[in-house]
Amino acid sequence: MLRHLRRSIVLALCLAALCGLGYPLLVTGVATALFPVQARGSLGPNGSTLIGQAWQGPQWFHGRPDPYTPMASGAANLGPRSRVLAAQVAARLAAWHRLGVTPTAELVLGSGSGLDPDISPRSAYVQVAMVARARHLPVGAVRRLVQSQVQGPELGFLGEPVVNVLQVNERLARLR
């Protein structure tokens, strides 16, 4: 029994050193050397392209109706027949209608992470007229901007095509 105990402690400590320190530190070293930008969080001057932000007003493309609080990620978790969810969706629909937009489902339903950085191309296209009007830009120019920002799916079939909201807004700010 004592021998089992001694072996257990030795193995636990050895594997803690090997898998808990050696492995993650080695991955950190190699990954930082090979992919320095990604390893540090894909950060640009205005934030991370992977972590969504809240956008207000008709002059910007909006993302999902998420809280966008990176220190507290997670979904809203409201059930499929939740009264609270129905009330939230009704309020979001009304807000979009006030902006003159007929939203897609994605624009009134929260994401899984609460930080979704992307929307589908369709969700971007329905906002084009709103953004063009607010910025006094030709609708065609804004539409072409969105077209140029459609990414994926990976390898042509993995996942869904998306528009990154931060990237499209960064381009939009530079559009004359």
Partner 1 sequence: MGFALTLLALVVCLALAWRLLGAYMVAVFEGRAHWLSWVERPLYRALGVDPGREQGWQRYTASLLIFSLVSILLTYALLRFQALLPFNPQHLPAVAPALAWNTAVSFVTNTNWQNYAGESTMSYFSQMVALTVQNFVSPAVGMAVAIAIIRGFARRGSAAIGNFWVDVVRSVIYILLPISFVFALVFVAQGSVQTLAGPAHIHDLLNGVGQTIPRAPIASQEVIKQLGTNGGGPFNANGAHPFENPTGLTNVLSILLLLAIPVALTYTFGRMVGSVRQGGAVLAAMTVLFAGWLAVAVAAEQGPNPAATAAGLAHQPGGNLNGKEARFGVAGSVLYDIASTQTSTGSVNSAADSYTPLGGLALMAGMAQGDITPGGVGSGLYTILLSAIVTVFIGGLMVGRTPEYLGKKIQAREVKLAALGVLVMPVTVLVLTAIAVAIPAGTGAVLNRGPQGFSEIFYALLSQGNNNGSAFAGISANTVFYNVVGGVDMLIGRFGIIVPVLALSGVLAAKATVPASAGTFRTDTPMFVGLLVGVILLIGALTFFPAVSLGPLVQQFSHGRLF
Q: Which of residues 117-176 bind partner 1 (CB under 8 A)?
A: 117-120, 123, 152-155, 157-160, 162, 166, 169-170, 173
CA atoms of 116 and 60, how far apart (whole Å)? 16
Smallest gap, in angstroms, from Cβ of residue 15 to partner 1?
6
Smallest gap, in angstroms, from Cβ of residue 176 to partner 1?
16
Smallest gap, in angstroms, from Cβ of residue 115 to partner 1?
6
- How many residues belong to the site for partner 1 (CB under 8 A)? 98
| Binding residues for partner 1 restricted to 24-43, rule: CB under 8 A | 24-28, 30-32, 34-35, 38-43
Which of the stretches 114-122, 128-136, 138-146 binds partner 1 when contact is defined by CB under 8 A?
114-122
User: Any contact of residue 61 with partner 1 (CB under 8 A)?
Assistant: no
| Binding residues for partner 1 restricted to 76-95, rule: CB under 8 A | 76-83, 85-90, 93
Which of the stretches 115-123, 127-135, 141-149 binds partner 1 when contact is defined by CB under 8 A?
115-123
CA atoms of 162 and 165, how far apart (whole Å)? 9
Smallest gap, in angstroms, from Cβ of residue 19 to partner 1?
4
Smallest gap, in angstroms, from Cβ of residue 6 to partner 1?
8
* 72 backbone dihedrals φ, ψ, rounded to 5°: -140, 75
Which of the stretches 106-114, 127-135, 139-147 binds partner 1 when contact is defined by CB under 8 A?
106-114
Question: Helix/strand/coil (H, E, C) string of the chain?
Answer: CHHHHHHHHHHHHHHHHHHHHHHHHHHHHHHHHHCHHHHCCCEECCEECCCCCCCCCCCCCCCCCCCCCCCCCCCCCCCCCCHHHHHHHHHHHHHHHHCCCCCCHHHCCCCCCCCCCEECHHHHHCCHHHHHHHHCCCHHHHHHHHHHCEECCECCCECCCEEEHHHHHHHHHHCC
User: Any contact of residue 98 with partner 1 (CB under 8 A)?
Assistant: no
